[in-house]
Structure 1
Amino acid sequence: MAFSASARPAALAEMNVTPLVDVMLVLLIIFMVTAPLLSRPLDLALPQRSDHPSKASILTLQVGSQGDLTLDDRPLSRTQLDERLQDALRSDPRTVLTLRASPDADYQEVVSALSVVRRAGVEQVSWLD
């Protein structure tokens, strides 16, 4: 009795892409449906350009290396600074304070000057190097 090799079909090495195509078509439909929903306009109130210049008064506070304070090139103590800032806010509530610190000024002196500014009620503070 002779042994014969049975004729087995050769294994297919090809990938079945039908499920992959089905998944891609479903994702395409989902993205096509949801894309218009995601492009809603935002309700924003952007600032408008005005032709007239701002009338807000601008004060410049400088903190020196020794902790000395000068407001618009006038040396002041902390209590005088508080009074001067309150007077400026009474005359113009839109007063802007520009803070400039000496590069070798102590950090604590700058923070204490900012606390005086905050206690006086100034809300708009900018920083200059």
Structure 2
Amino acid sequence: MNLSIAPTLEINQWQKNTDFKEGSHLTFDLGGSYVLNSRGDEVGLFGNYSKQVSDDKGTEGSFLSDQNAGIGAFGSYWLVPHKIGIMARITQNFATENRFGGVAFQTGVNFLIPAK
């Protein structure tokens, strides 16, 4: 079983060839997962919240503060145990302001590269 909480402070720089600097964002990610078997197949739940914590600067851009929250679930399955796997996750975004909301679905392929 795995539990994690990760705060992130994003500090933006001036955008190239513009007079615009997006405000900073504070994000909290949290989640938990459970390994189902010795193959490493896994299921989990997660959540996130992101909020713009400083104002935009410059003369270009929207100058609207944004925020987003989401909850979701994921699963991964090893086709070749501990070498090649597939994963999928679904996220329900809510409490959005000036961001995309709704449901997001992602899939992917996992490749484990040995350290030896």
Q: Would you tell me which structure has more helix in proportion to its own residues?
A: 1
TM-score (norm 1): 0.23
Larger relative contact order, structure 1 or 2 (CA cutoff 8 Å, min sep 6): 1
Q: Would you tell me which structure has more strand in proportion to its own residues?
A: 2
